[in-house]
A and B are shown apart, each in its own frame.
Chain A
């Protein structure tokens, strides 16, 4: 059976062979976006421009000159990437109505390859959060909340409760992108990942979430949270698709001085059959406090899977893991304080009506434009950067960061190829439960398993693994060596094949079914 063949062999083939037209594909996705509006996954739907792009793609296919695999493929982009002519808000009052004059490099690359940009997806304000609940356009709902699988397992608590209050979060901060991919409204989406913001929602929404190595993909045009940790993230329904997206986006960008100079060669993933030469590391510190017994069991099962297939599975130690959250807080807030300094209402974005003085205008603009989470991080960050605190906090955190990165280096040097860990502590929480704690607390809890990879700049991927007792997705994370995405994705693909994660059964998707969707045996759109 054709499992997990993704873009390359299914949709792209269908487009090429004329079995489906780009405009048709686009229209179906737009219709599905409309009927899944309650998910609140999209902030802006660029219907007109998307259809135009689809038409242009169609012309190219007619002439037999498609630009590549991505030609005509509908994609969505997190609303913290600059898109020329289409609003970029970062889910903040500060940038409501802001129309950027330029495209982020990754957006430009997608467009240059003929991808159809459906719209901008919802997120936590300025990507700060782990729930996609703290943006000004409201929270994103996890599509699985409305899945047959979840509804079947839901225990009716009382008559007054309906699915309205039971819905679960997507995780964050790239929740909109994850939900968009999960609900089939697009074939791939861009997210960003600073502490886990692509992998976390990928795990909760049952999709593949790839965090590439820092420096592999250009950040030019990605509105930064933490410049030294941010990466554009890739969300797809199968690992093969992630490899396709990676191939189209990676490579040196002269506009981003933190991208490596080396040539990047896009690759096709081999179908790994023999894992006997593989060494999988299980970091014991990732058995973190609060890890659900369900996920612990799943993690263990996965380890056994590798072992039984002949791979070497060893317990390893990353001793500085427990300092990573605190370290992250210092470095993240410090960079946030710095990066947000440009939002003063003068050149672009929201400007307060306060006219008493430049300073009062700045203060009012920033108070009005930023939510509490953003303001809180700015205040903390400025505190850490004060002259008397700099050594104690910022420099110390930098040193700890080095130790965390070294932990990984040591383990990889000892012969381990890939690390296997959980991605989240539990399955997705109901929204009403999630918001009982503040953003900072939640972030601190939820980032623990994903955030160290950002500290070390390493590539990491969430692979949807199984459904929880509640019928919600649970994923596991693979962390690889710097710039060894090919090996990472090859192993991830093998694992994906073994676990056969079920397809979401959504009423809305069924209704908009097309041949393309129907014959999917797996979570891939291929």
Chain B
């Protein structure tokens, strides 16, 4: 963005720290269950409550999830990684420290490719890459709710100890849109892998943004951390607001403080967070109760190892499912659709499967089917806030309708009318609706001439 007052442009720099809750039955270091919205303090083991004398025991599934994610993000998986304690006092942190991986995390040096449409038209997509600095395993904290009227704090430890993967993205992004696109792609990858359900609304994916601005050629500016971003929509908004705020501040001769700011979604701005006075010294210390985490690959796997006791990175690599980027490529190649189409297909849960299902059941070319899926069906779904799964129009019905169109038994205008009727979900077939509303295409020339004449005659009388 150009500035008003100085001649030099501003270069915004955005990095992200993303916490993804691992999809597992039990917590990272204890056997209590992981479940959203359970009654308060009903999923708390002795260890989670930090009862004295309890010890952490590493959950294998969580390690596998992190390895999968690291591989999907082109990271090097560290065959030896370490656990550390990060100390601070807070009501939702029963032990007074969080177990994390500060010195040597499980995966490093990866990359994530994501795509943006230039000028919002979905006509031109550009691919960008963001470097993944590292992925580390760590514990989630509990939840604390402040009840100011009664001057009390309510603590729910259900979430305390749930496994998290922290994915650190280097400051390679330049704006809210890029950040949102990168996060969206990460979300899709996590959901494809199954390593995290990554639903932002349920707190399974939390994003903190590090934002700074500088003039080209000059060193990076002071950065602020923006927290409390609860949806993808707010992510872009919060980042763009912060960039703007920093630019205005600097142009007015002010300085940027290295602080943490919260995004206020109602006001649409970032505000300094109250409880971070001064810099925290977390007094990191190795976690003495957990030996180094050793992972193997096929080469390094010792001969007589109990299969249950070890994780083989190559084994996991072989079993990785097709990532979104691969899936998109396959869709484009197989069906001849445009790349931007493949993005939209994958962006909606179940839409790609729906599309493929329709294609199978119709003679209409996929290139034509896609229009019906992306324009007609999708807009109906969006209007009524429905997911693909909830669609009253099944792939069978849509295919049926498209076959009528393909056989030229109805016009495309008529088809749209039939779709609108199908949408009501009254159980009628496309053919029934066509007959009911007399939407059959007339092929007979004479009949058409008669109708046209009748219309003209009718008009003359007016």
Binding site for B on A (CB under 8 A): 81-82, 88, 90, 95, 100-102, 104, 219-224, 226-228, 254-258, 261, 334-335, 337-338, 340-344, 346-348, 355, 358-359, 362, 382, 385-387, 390, 394
Q: Does B230 contact A (CB under 8 A)?
A: no
Whole-angstrom distance between the Cβ of B49 and the nearest chain A Cβ: 5
Complex CA gap A255/B58 in Å reads: 10
| Per-residue A-contact encoding for B25-59, CB less than 8 Å = 1, 0 else | 00000000000000000000010011111111110
Given contact pairs A359-B89, A385-B87, A219 touches B55 in the complex (Cβ within 8 A)? yes
Q: List residues of chain A with CB within 8 A of the CB of B58.
A: 257
Let me know if A382 and B283 touch, CB within 8 A: yes
- Select B57's contact among A224, A254, A344, A347, beta carbons within 8 Å: A254
Interface-centre pick from B54, B85, B87, B94 (highest chain A CB count, 10 A): B54
B97, closest chain A residue (CB)? A341
Q: List residues of chain B with CB within 8 A of the CB of A355.
A: 151
Q: List residues of chain A with CB within 8 A of the CB of B53.
A: 81-82, 100, 104, 220-224
Chief secondary structure at chain A's binding surface: loop
Complex CA gap A95/B53 in Å reads: 13
Let me know if A390 and B284 touch, CB within 8 A: yes
Chief secondary structure at chain B's binding surface: loop
Complex CA gap A221/B57 in Å reads: 14
Let me know if B49 and A358 touch, CB within 8 A: no
4 closest Cβ pairs, A-B complex: A341-B96, A385-B283, A227-B288, A228-B288
Whole-angstrom distance between the Cβ of B316 and the nearest chain A Cβ: 22
Complex CA gap A101/B53 in Å reads: 11
Let me know if A347 and B50 touch, CB within 8 A: yes
Complex CA gap A87/B94 in Å reads: 21
Q: List residues of chain A with CB within 8 A of the CB of B56.
A: 257
A356, closest chain B residue (CB)? B151
Complex CA gap A257/B291 in Å reads: 7
Whole-angstrom distance between the Cβ of B26 and the nearest chain A Cβ: 14
Complex CA gap A293/B372 in Å reads: 99
- Select B283's contact among A95, A220, A223, A386, beta carbons within 8 Å: A386
Complex CA gap A338/B95 in Å reads: 9
Given contact pairs A219-B55, A382-B283, A342 touches B291 in the complex (Cβ within 8 A)? no
Q: Does B91 contact A (CB under 8 A)?
A: yes
Whole-angstrom distance between the Cβ of B159 and the nearest chain A Cβ: 15
Kindly list 16 other residue pairs between chains A and B, CB separation below 8 angstroms, not including A338-B97, A346-B155, A347-B49. Answer: A82-B51, A100-B53, A104-B53, A221-B54, A223-B53, A257-B56, A257-B58, A258-B289, A335-B285, A335-B288, A337-B283, A338-B96, A342-B52, A342-B95, A359-B89, A362-B89
Whole-angstrom distance between the Cβ of B427 and the nearest chain A Cβ: 56
Let me know if B285 and A344 touch, CB within 8 A: no
Complex CA gap A355/B153 in Å reads: 11
Q: List residues of chain A with CB within 8 A of the CB of B433.
A: none
Interface-centre pick from B50, B283, B284 (highest chain A CB count, 10 A): B283
Let me know if B51 and A338 touch, CB within 8 A: no
Q: List residues of chain B with CB within 8 A of the CB of A348.
A: 49, 51-52
Complex CA gap A101/B95 in Å reads: 18
Let me know if A255 and B55 touch, CB within 8 A: yes
Q: List residues of chain A with CB within 8 A of the CB of B309.
A: 261
Q: List residues of chain B with CB within 8 A of the CB of A386.
A: 281, 283
Enumerate 26 A-B pairs (CB-CB under 8 Å) in ascending A order.
A82-B53, A100-B53, A226-B288, A227-B289, A228-B288, A257-B291, A258-B288, A258-B291, A335-B285, A335-B288, A338-B87, A338-B96, A338-B97, A340-B96, A341-B87, A342-B50, A343-B52, A344-B94, A346-B94, A347-B94, A348-B49, A358-B153, A386-B283, A387-B282, A387-B284, A394-B285
